[in-house]
Amino acid sequence: MAPRFAQRLVSAWRAHGAETFFRALSFAARLHPSSRPEAHGVEVVRDLPYQVGRGSHAEFHRLDVYKPIARPGPWPVVFYVHGGGFHLLSKDTHWLMGLTFARFGYLVVNISYRLAPRHPFPAAIEDVCAAWAWLAENGKALGADLDRVAVAGESAGGNLITALALATSQRRPEPWAAAAWDTGLVPRAALPFCALLEVSRPERFAERRPMPRWINGMIQDISASYLQQDDHGATIDLADPLVALERGPRLDRPLPPFFAPVGTRDPLLDDTRRLARALAALDVPCEARYYPGGIHAFHALVWDPAARRCWRDALAFLDRHLRPGARAHARTLTAQRAG
């Protein structure tokens, strides 16, 4: 009992340290004059509830909408899901991502979701699917062009948006996944930044190459906190979307093109490499980009030249797939792959 208690204490200490660091960084960045949305022609509508009534958790079931009002609408959309190991952070710590995409003409839906360990799997992906259904129902009234929607997220958020892309491309038995499918809203692009794509087997990273004990401990914590039990049946595919893709699943709709950036010093690097191979086997376009020296979530360090290159590459990818002329291209690509 004592070793188990000590392990929980260490896990809680690591989580608290990470939460404190990222919240402080987010707060400090907000003090910079260029962080004001109005300085960039962006309007922010905050704390919209995307799930109400029974089962609603008001502190989590909220989203912010960033509107690029300096540009004519309707606007293409980035549906953004924050990272934090499924147990940390929120839309409020990830305002920078919302503002950055909105500055370049995208309406951004930046969501929070329930966090582990209080709310283990599948709570987070349930909430992502609920927010997706909210976008399908309310997006047009906000000025969204629902023919041009991308999904994006980093780390755990990259996992969740990859799982969402799978749920919108494949009929599944889970009611909440079926609700996402039934919207008929399909992403035209997916951007999993430095994603953790297989949660159930955290030991694989240390087996492949040595890593500091504290990093390995954090990855182990994520898996234990999020999954909490061994048997999730077929639903585990939406915690391990990479494994599902490697298996070559039957798809009822084509998966969108992927842009998958990662730093070469990121301990999760191998998941992006595997994702690129799995998507290639499925004949799904994937631009996997590897940024020399980049640590985990390096793209958030916007003063870093590698982070700036990553953002330029991501925005160029979105422009290719979500610009007005991309609609006809997407229909053609869908017809070709269906045939």
Confidence of residue 208 (pLDDT cuts 50, 70, 90): confident
Cβ neighbours of 228 (radius 10 Å): 12
Which CATH architecture describes the domain 2-338?
A: 3-Layer(aba) Sandwich (3.40)
Supply the DSSP string of 138-194, one letter for each residue.
HHHHHTEEEEEEEEEEETHHHHHHHHHHHHHHS--SSHHHHHHHHT----SEEEEES
Q: Is the pLDDT of residue 120 over 80?
A: yes
Query: So what's the pLDDT on residue 184?
Result: 98
The tens digit of pLDDT for each residue in 29-67 reads: 554 556 788 999 999 999 999 998 767 788 899 999 999
Structure tokens at 323: 């610009």
Query: So what's the pLDDT on residue 230?
Result: 80
Which comes out higher in pLDDT, residue 10 or 157?
Answer: 157
Average pLDDT of the chain, as a whole number: 89
The tens digit of pLDDT for each residue in 86-100 reads: 999 999 999 999 999
Structure tokens at 232: 């999730």
Confidence of residue 172 (pLDDT cuts 50, 70, 90): very high
